[in-house]
Chain A
Amino acid sequence: MAVNWAERVSVFSSSPSRVLSGTTAEALLAELLRELRDDRASYSVKVLLLSPICEYPTLLCPSESAGEETALELMSVFTQCPPKHVQFRCHLLLALTSVLVCTSCVSNQSRASQDYLDLLLQVAQDTSDLQGDCALRLLRATACDCLRELEACSPGLLSQHLELLAGLRLREGSRLHQAYAGLHTLVLRNAVYQLTQEAGAGAEHLKALLGGNTTVAWEAGQNSGLIKNKDSMHLSSLILGPMHTTPTLQTGPDCKELRSVLSSLLEESYLLTPLCQASLLYRLTEVVAMVPGVPPSVFRAQLLRLLGTSEVSLLHATLLMKCAFTDSLFSAEDEAFILKRLVVLSQHPLLITSEKLFYMDCILHFPENRPISCSDGDESLPVLLTPRLASALLPTVFNDSATMLARLNLLSLVYLEEGEEGEGEESGGLAYLYEHLNSLLNIVEHGASREINVTFFRAAFLFLFYFNHVEHYANNLIEKLCKLYLRHTHLAPQLINLADQTQDKLPESSWAVGLLKALLQAITETSLTQLNLQDLSQHLKMLARMAEEGEIPQHSTLRFLSSVITQSSASLCMNGNWRLGNSLLGICRRLLNHPNLDSLLIPLADILQHLACNYGDTDIQDHARLYYTLLTTLSREKLVSVLAQGLREGGRQVKKRTLSSIMAESEGLTSTLTIHRMDKAVFRLVEAQSELNTETHATKDTDQNETVDGPDAALTAYRAQFEDPCFASDITLNYQLTHLTTSDSRFDQLFSIRLHITLTDDHYEELSDISVPCLFRERPTPKVRLRLKPRRPYPTVLQASAIFTSQDGLSWLTVLPDIHVSFQQVFKPPPVPSTWGRSDKLSLFEGLWDEVNSQTGEKDLVDCATSLFCCQLKEDALAALVEKHFLPFLLSDPADKEEFKVLFFLPPHSHVLLKIKSEEDAVHFNITTDSWQLLPHISSYLLTITTSQDVQE
């Protein structure tokens, strides 16, 4: 059967969940492994097959044991693969590394990971490729990288091999020395780190470690070097700026051995690719930072070369070195030079934008020799960055938007300091920045692209963020924005967003209110005759936002509204545009809540009355009438409290919420009418104890009766039942709906829960929704029965979502954790007539068994299959297993320990028959089924239950 693996693998890589919804991870993994062992498959396909294992090892091997087994499989594939398939063998090593690391086999030092480590060390030392093909060397390089990754994930793993690795590196003359060097430095760094964590470790330990004498290096009792920290500190970088302390190893000044290792590594660093060089320098920086006995000057010989480099990673490594060693390696002149260099690089014509942005970021987090503030993580300017120096980075309209914003941000910081130092707000720099903002505004004014519009508003926000206190610029900007808005009313959402964000991020500033006030004036002064519908709807959006500001007097708003509905065009009212009406009402509703409502009363009432009488849409009329009534009949206090109820998050009683929702046209009503999406699940379905056991026990009593004669008759009678297509065609799964432990008190009491179950494959019929009246955290959990109607009785995953109402009357949509229906959940005892006893059932068993096994049956037997599953089980273990898993399906006498006969019925009409017998060497599970497609599921089921039995023993 030709399977298009290339396509399957690419579908899996882009969306594993989609693939796994149609099959199990286990089955897919088994399939992949089988194909990998298949001699007929080409090696290029086999390389493809490894990519799911490389990329998603935890999906395919969910447990450590699964990882362990997969790794053993892959290792045997590796040993059997002819050496010439280098690419495939390399990818095999990568897959093995991924599997063993991700399933925690490495950190738990499992058997397979030990074997794998030995294999890697062996490959890494195997220099037989020297004479052979150059391509073969790739395998050695890959092995080194795998070792490096293992060491990176489990620091200390290779510290016993430090001397070996040092030797390999020194001896290697080909390009591969780079791989050894990377590995060696990482192991060295981790080993030194390990020593710093040991009390009393000192110079001798370090010496012993470098000499490969691990028994001395590690104190008794700690035979393996693996760092056992549970926290992640040991994986973390050690160079984190002035606020962090680096663990140190006190060695005294004499660290000859370490020094000689360091200088040898540094000497050859030039031979590495820039990326590897940067990593090497970084790791060595960490080592030297941990061992105060070695002066940072070991790096000095490399510095000039590094400072002149065009490679971003090398210069970055140098900056990190500066962060670690400050003035013990870098003089004040060096510091000034580096900073100037960063400024140059931030605008260098030969660099790509991301690199320039990165260098600007480095300026804002410059590792100063003597930092004044210890602000960790925040952007701050280095003292040496003078306005003169920074002026090279002034933003211009020719910059791309990210560069422009980055420059604006940096220069704003520069002039902010300058302004604060008393040179006055009139500094030329600030004037330039404002002029620049104006140029952008001019571009927007002439109708620019969306991207430029967005950039302008971001720039405006940045400018305000730093300079909102500089009044004449801030005011001038308001003026300009008003003009801009009148020309381009479609910018309303951007202006509202700008007002929102400045109000939110700059709570002390009143700029946003100022802007809104000015816009209000601008809007209300426009001539209505020139107003088109589009502009009007944008204006109304703006007015609604302004109406939320208690500080803004709203008389002009009302005048404007009144003239819109009365004068501008009667047609507007008559048209009865619902959206427009709703926008009008939205403003009115906000005004009802306005602190100066008293002075607005009459004009507002007039407007509402006019709408109620004349607007061309009934819904709008009704709402206007309601508002009018509220306004004219309720006292101010009541009105406020009614409206406030609508606005407040979660009123006390559900009824209040609904009432006030009607008032709160735009927010309240929409929030009650909308179904809110939930970020995380609140409850889930937990599988309840099956009722099968009790059922079988109940039928025990009728064991003695015999109602049919012989297997054939039993089979016929049994089959006859299935003429009704609905007969025994479904399974019922019992679940309990329970809260998840995360406590959000809003969701302690839930009502009207409607569960919607979605299938992820077509093995089952669609399910109808299920209603649960309520779910309270403190009360017993409600039961939920899922009636699944299989088309094919395979394991599946169900996706569940629920809509419910919370206590405050809001509706929510939440996604429940997926429900996994396992294969054994589909099992049912055979649906025999209730009058049948055990012997009848046994007859049925024999009948089915014989039919499948005799090839002469009249029925079409193409789907039938037999199989044998063997495993090692002691007699009592077998009995326990039968008792635990098969009791409801056991047809033979439980007392009969010779042979167990088990019959699973899988709706709609599949059967699996087991005859279980202890033979001398193993327990044999003879399997017979009338649906061969079930065989992989059966064997994986049997494998699971028999191996878990092993574990129990």
Chain B
Amino acid sequence: MSTLEAPRPTRGDTVADPADLVTEALDLGYDGTRVVHALDLRLPPGQVTAIVGPNGCGKSTLLGALARVHEAQGGAVLLDGRDLATLRPRDAARRIGLLPQQAAAPDGLTVRDLVRYGRHPHQGLLRQWSPEDAAAVHGALAAADLLDLADRPLDQLSGGQRQRAWIAMVVAQQTAVVLLDEPTSALDLGHQLEVLELVADLAAQGRTVVLVLHDLSTACRHADHLVAMRDGRVVAEGPPADVVTAGLVRELYGVEAAVLRDPTSGTPVVCPVRRVAATG
């Protein structure tokens, strides 16, 4: 929609206090099955980090752990040097925002209603609406270019608009860390770009953004930092241009691929050739 016609100025607050998010020997799992093993990771502040890897490699679980959805079974997630598990949930939610996959809202809820939920960690029983809340909701709607659609029910929006509304909810939370689990899945190319441009804006404001992405080329194009995972371990980490090679693609997905350069951005583009046995 309007994203293409009107270049979107970067709006919203600049984060004064970037967060330092680190995992130390982090073990994660469900019901006795270990999904992530002894993971040491530092997420570069103010940058976009993309976590990639095959299905079931533990990337969504890791993102959940960064947002306290999953408890660490060993090791810890440290936020500014403090164990995330020891923080009050509300304090943690003022620093770290999460948009999980397949988030669904009650029928009839409007964009503004949803974005207001983002203020929850800043509110209380007797502090239900402050000037800061009004400003943050307005700022988040503006950042996601949704001011025109603010009072439309979510179920009347396109997939891309709806996804931007969910991201706006997280933006209204005004956290230094924003975690997004596959924010572009099920979106067409234009809508994907809509979302990824918004993501770039968030990082430009000083937020630490972590994305789980399915598509390696998209990750290369839009992330500053890449974390490649397989079987619950980090296989490679660093700037996409340095990390993504034919060898890595083979190791991750068991696919032989040609890795080319994007003519505009110079970032790696992965062209799969055929399936082979995974190495590593």
**Do these two chains really belong together in a complex?**
no
Chain A residues proximal to chain B, CB less than 8 Å: none
